[in-house]
Structure 1
């Protein structure tokens, strides 16, 4: 069956993302289905699309009232009938409940969002038994497992309630789950036969950076946020006091920021959350209490003022950036002092919990201090391999952009592996390192390790050196950590093989986070969208805000940012043209489109804008694909002729594409190409001309230089000029 036309009709997308299509097929074919997909991977579409297509009402069980409200708003946004989606929870009065029931009876409601507590109510169960139910979806399914990071007891009983209502397929969805949690979910829901889909945890558009945390950390944060005024961001802190402090410092510096933590009363929390969703503030400073109920696609950065307690929470929290596939910048500030602070907090916990806590913290230290590709490190933690040369998003972290130096460490790897073997694989990393550097402690002495001939064979290097090497061989699978024994290190077959036949092993030197190391990091991330007509985008955003306020929904429920960018590239002035825009389906075009095309038509008129004629034919995919290709390959300094040839373009056509890119505000570095054509003094002469000229028209430049330069030379110089001066 073709799922693409309903996808376009309801959601305005031409393509599915990742595993979405396979999941939707499985649900439509009435199979039990289990989906593990990272935050921002497009989980909700996996049940929303089949629900809209199938007969009857789909029940969606979700633990968060805020999240339900967001999703209901978004679904109502694509349909002319309000009743298409409803919430059934404790926030409704009698009249509202009656309305929900009548819409379900009349077959209008396709999606019914229910909290687990409401589903226990006898009257609701009885009512639903008599209705046509298409399937039941359980969102945030990790809440079922006591091993999950957010266990909710009322979730354990869901299986029996679902059976009571109807024998329908069950869909479980979660954004993060270790093997143990996955098994637990399938068992508890009684769907061990489910089709399981596990998506890659790689979010290629996110840029990861760790900076040393100095006494100037507040200044660093202000500088970072000020470069992104008007963009939404979240700043996480560990304590409520710090949240209040940072929110205040930002406000004093003219940044629209609000605090969010569990110590504020519920009304203030809701108000601050709504301000963020409705774009009345740019930044939320929060403890981890914030974010679970947030489905805001255009969060552009997530800053960790304090490093989190586990990589799992770090992954969840950074995952709130860039859900619309646009730019997402994840910046963490790290100082070992913070880790020691967290260890102190743990001292009061039972020993078993302390052990797990320490093991999790060591993973975070490893991530912060590593100088290898951060994405590779992170994905390895979730049991996923990543190719740091060709993988998607391979250069989207500080370590890949600014690689540290490497040296041959083959002999040291052999030393390290043989120590693990000779101490009978019973030590954790710290003890392995102490054995190498010959540092005695009670643990080593009790095993008589200090009397062994190999004790201290790595004295010539420091403890941090061996710890860094140990982490690097862990990621390439020479050793593994035993989960059951809280992180004891064991050799793998690959590691044993390496001891027998050592090969070259290039070790990257780890970061040393001292106070002064505050090197500037490139902040231009490849995931940034190519922006179009900035003035029009601003007007479109204001209109979107106005409509959102009128409808009482967040702005992104009207149109997402990539859709506005695309409108400002294509200038659609009819509803038909509008529906060729990225992320705009027929329903949305009909519902919100009139005012947008009205505004664009006026704008085009007033500013004498030449609209592209081939609007309908060209889909954005082709266009932006070509743009990205040009940007990437000029970055790689590929000869322009080669770029043109590989895309079947004439040189003049390629130059036209490059002009479109720089005029839309994106930098292109073509110095290498210009240097081949024009020498330094001539470049300076043309550069100065454009600096002083009234207009950048090429014909006028040709006249001015009286035939000294040809069309191509001047156009390339103009691209270089615009790129450097205007962007």
Structure 2
């Protein structure tokens, strides 16, 4: 676009190319800083508009913006989306043949690309470095920058090489972006990418349109099915499982129950993974059941729910994964089923993990923070934001703790009874058992195992009849979460900790969370006063919206594009509500830029003429 641009140029590009009236949050400050040649480290939640923070400076500054992204499987979609709005974009990665690569290289050297996407490993190839030397680079954007953090949730060794960018091209501004990072991770990113002099921009991590819910596990498959059938029928969503076997099992279970679901994990061949991902991105209403191998960089805006059937290893991972819901700002659900076995399993995985004691300590710190989020009696969102060093003035009104407040109770006596049982088994019998046997002893159950080991002769036998089995399991889970009880070995046997001694012998009080009886699902996310304003369709607008969605689906199939690349739901809802009758009026709709207006405007007006 010629000479270095101004803020007014950036605003003009925002409106003309992308079809938005104004910048959101601190987008304008970031763009102004990078356009002026400054380095930036940007922390902004998924759906907050991170990509515009480098795309617009690349369009305003002379040369080509080079985007380093680990998402090879998604580069084609990212480039297609940019081309749809009239941006000249290309990519270089290992999926291309030599002819396609040469074509992109020539376009770059001829100054005919606004944006060039590269996988980080390409920058380890000297030929790529020489190519960039021969062309004009306007900026380097390092997407998913948390991949550089050694103890983050998605470390990629290739990212460590990116610190060399500044040494080779000292005058080219760099912008590193991530959707999640604690202060410690942010400092590590800055250090490892040689961005210590960069200006930091930290947006609010709040996603008010997402309703956070964490439920005790009780037949999790059935709980998931009920959630999908009652609240998210026909919606696109992601279900995360810890193991490949679980992924296959849950996907089959959903299909058997009439829900179109696909599996995704590293054990599938690359062709199947790519095909399933492409279907999820291009079709409406599919459910992807996956390990955490799936999801980074998924731009699908209409994911209405993210469900976890296993406990995430860290709050950062949980935030990143749940952030794939509701990128369009419309009401969405983040749902997690969590139980005692999750805590035991994660503790065991940490004990067996490779690495030194310091590494295991870090993993335990991550897990402790995740457990604290699960067990809090306070607002979930407040706890989540506090983890990232941010605060909220009042409860959010859009999480399960706010919608159906749990009760905190004094669990000291219950904790002492349970710890005393573990203590007596060890001291009097030299034995260690898992939670099930300990709870059977407290409830006075005369099972074969109890009789075999003569546990009915222990003084604690039958002393816990005031709580039900499920309540005792909650006590064990919360004691494990608080570090007041330990677990060891492959069979998850319970052991005492220093904290246990404080409860047993030093009168330490134990506060526990009692889950409320839930007779109905919480109110929909859109009822929250803090949720981002969304267009509510009237009865008259609903069929028009559905007809526009149908047109969008047909058009996307013809062009081989994901439907959201044509238009987001939010744009179609505004069209269905405002019913523009001319190209000029259609051009004022949010998300309808110059190129899309020219490409699709007449078709949309024709659809409206049919149904209005």
Q: Same fold (TM over 0.5)?
A: yes
User: Is the Cα–Cα contact under 8 Å of residues 28 and 54 in structure 1 kept in the other structure?
Assistant: yes
User: Is the Cα–Cα contact under 8 Å of residues 235 and 284 in structure 2 kept in the other structure?
Assistant: no
Structure 1 equivalent of residue 37 of structure 2: 30
User: Is the Cα–Cα contact under 8 Å of residues 261 and 286 in structure 2 kept in the other structure?
Assistant: yes
Residue 296 of structure 1: how far off its partner (Å): 0.9
Structure 2 equivalent of residue 76 of structure 1: 83
Deviations 1:213-259 (A, max 9, x none): 113x3222222212323311111111211111111111112111111
Structure 1 equivalent of residue 522 of structure 2: 522
1:401/1:576 Cα in 2 relative to 1: closer, same or farther (>3 Å)? same
User: Is the Cα–Cα contact under 8 Å of residues 243 and 259 in structure 1 kept in the other structure?
Assistant: yes
Shifted more, 520-529 versus 85-94: the winner is: 520-529
Which of 349, 364, 368 matches 2:370?
364
Deviations 1:53-101 (A, max 9, x none): 221111111111123223211111101x6xx000011222222223213
Which of 14, 32, 56 matches 1:7?
14
Residue-pair matches, total: 524
Structure 2 equivalent of residue 593 of structure 1: 601
Q: Distance in 2 between matches of 1:32 and 1:146?
A: 22
Residue 368 of structure 1: how far off its partner (Å): 1.8
Structure 2 equivalent of residue 535 of structure 1: 543
User: Is the Cα–Cα contact under 8 Å of residues 43 and 201 in structure 2 kept in the other structure?
Assistant: yes
Q: Distance in 2 between matches of 1:180 and 1:395?
A: 30
User: Relative contact order (alpha carbons < 8 A, sep ≥ 6): 1 or 2 greater?
Assistant: 2
Which of 223, 228, 231 matches 1:225?
228
1:162/1:99 Cα in 2 relative to 1: closer, same or farther (>3 Å)? farther
Q: Distance in 2 between matches of 1:400 and 1:146?
A: 35
Deviations 1:645-671 (A, max 9, x none): xxxxxxxxxxxxxxxxxxxxxxxxxxx
Deviations 1:100-158 (A, max 9, x none): 13322333211011112222333332232122211111111122232332222222222
Shifted more, 153-162 versus 287-296: the winner is: 153-162
Q: Distance in 2 between matches of 1:187 and 1:363?
A: 24
Structure 1 equivalent of residue 405 of structure 2: 403
DSSP-derived class of the 1:284 partner: strand
Provide the alpha-carbon RMSD of the alignment: 3.3
Q: Distance in 1 between matches of 2:555 and 2:214?
A: 39
User: Is the Cα–Cα contact under 8 Å of residues 14 and 21 in structure 2 kept in the other structure?
Assistant: yes
Q: Distance in 2 between matches of 1:148 and 1:363?
A: 14
Structure 1 residue ranges, 4+ long, deviating more than 4 angstroms after superposition? 437-442, 462-472, 507-510
Which runs of 5 or more structure 2 residues have no equivalent in the other structure? 1-6, 425-470, 483-496, 500-508
Residue 488 of structure 1: how far off its partner (Å): 11
Deviations 1:14-35 (A, max 9, x none): 1222211110010111111111
Q: Distance in 1 between matches of 2:186 and 2:597?
A: 40
Which of 151, 155, 166 matches 1:151?
155
DSSP-derived class of the 1:600 partner: helix
Which of 305, 325, 328 matches 1:324?
328
Deviations 1:401-454 (A, max 9, x none): 1224579x9xx9xxx9xxxxxxxxxxxxxxxx98xx999989xxxxxxxxxxxx
Whether 2:322 is the aligned partner of 1:315: answer no
1:488/1:297 Cα in 2 relative to 1: closer, same or farther (>3 Å)? farther
Structure 2 equivalent of residue 123 of structure 1: 127
Residue 375 of structure 1: how far off its partner (Å): 0.4
Residue 465 of structure 1: how far off its partner (Å): 9.0
Structure 1 equivalent of residue 245 of structure 2: 241
Q: Distance in 2 between matches of 1:183 and 1:262?
A: 31
1:191/1:550 Cα in 2 relative to 1: closer, same or farther (>3 Å)? same
Whether 2:382 is the aligned partner of 1:382: answer no
Summarize the alignment of residues 613-692 of structure 1 with structure 2, pairs less than 5 Å apart: none
1:589/1:55 Cα in 2 relative to 1: closer, same or farther (>3 Å)? same
Whether 2:65 is the aligned partner of 1:58: answer yes
DSSP-derived class of the 1:43 partner: coil
Larger Rg: 1
Whether 2:213 is the aligned partner of 1:209: answer yes
Q: Distance in 1 between matches of 2:536 and 2:304?
A: 14
Which of 49, 71, 74 matches 1:67?
74
User: Is the Cα–Cα contact under 8 Å of residues 183 and 389 in structure 2 kept in the other structure?
Assistant: no
User: Is the Cα–Cα contact under 8 Å of residues 260 and 287 in structure 1 kept in the other structure?
Assistant: yes
Q: Distance in 1 between matches of 2:72 and 2:563?
A: 19
Summarize the alignment of residues 496-511 of structure 1 with structure 2, pairs less than 5 Å apart: 510-511=512-513
1:188/1:332 Cα in 2 relative to 1: closer, same or farther (>3 Å)? closer
Whether 2:173 is the aligned partner of 1:169: answer yes
Q: Distance in 2 between matches of 1:219 and 1:142?
A: 35
Which of 259, 269, 273 matches 2:273?
269
Q: Distance in 1 between matches of 2:125 and 2:475?
A: 60
Structure 1 equivalent of residue 191 of structure 2: 187
Which runs of 5 or more structure 1 residues have no equivalent in the other structure? 417-432, 443-461, 473-486, 490-506, 605-727
DSSP-derived class of the 2:67 partner: strand
